[in-house]
Amino acid sequence: MAGGVAHDFNNLLTVIRGRTELLADEVESEEHRSDLAEIVQATDHAASLTHQLLAFSRKQVLAPKVLDLRDIVSGVEGMVRRLIPENIELTTDLAPQVD
């Protein structure tokens, strides 16, 4: 049953992502394009979580991936800045890039 719900959820995410990409082609404002790009990123992240839930429900062994937290924090920073009031200062202190 969980698998069916996950597949339905993935179908909804596909529609949201597709419509967002179509809308981005029509929008002229760079600020709005940036917002739409974040929606696309969020749908990709949600699809990844859905995939993990499906794997968990099937008791599959997942292939772990190395993540660069600097990229993740930097990617979310823009969205967070738009969500918090202007009187709140957001600072990030990221470690230097490791090669």
Instruction: Kindly provide the residue ranges of all beta strands, DSSP E only, lying in 1-99, ordered along the sequence.
Output: none
CA-based R_g, the chain, Å:
17
What percent of the chain has pLDDT above 90? 26
| Rounded mean pLDDT, 40-45 | 92
- Is the pLDDT reported for residue 99 higher than 70? no
Q: Enumerate the domain spans of the chain.
A: 2-83
pLDDT (0 to 100) of residue 6: 79
46 to each of 3, 21, 22, 42, 72, how far by Cα in Å? Answer: 15, 16, 19, 6, 14
- Is the pLDDT reported for residue 74 higher than 90? no
pLDDT (0 to 100) of residue 18: 92
Nearest-5° Cα angle at 70, 68 to 72: 75
- The pLDDT tens digits for 43-73 are 999 998 888 877 777 776 667 778 888 888 8
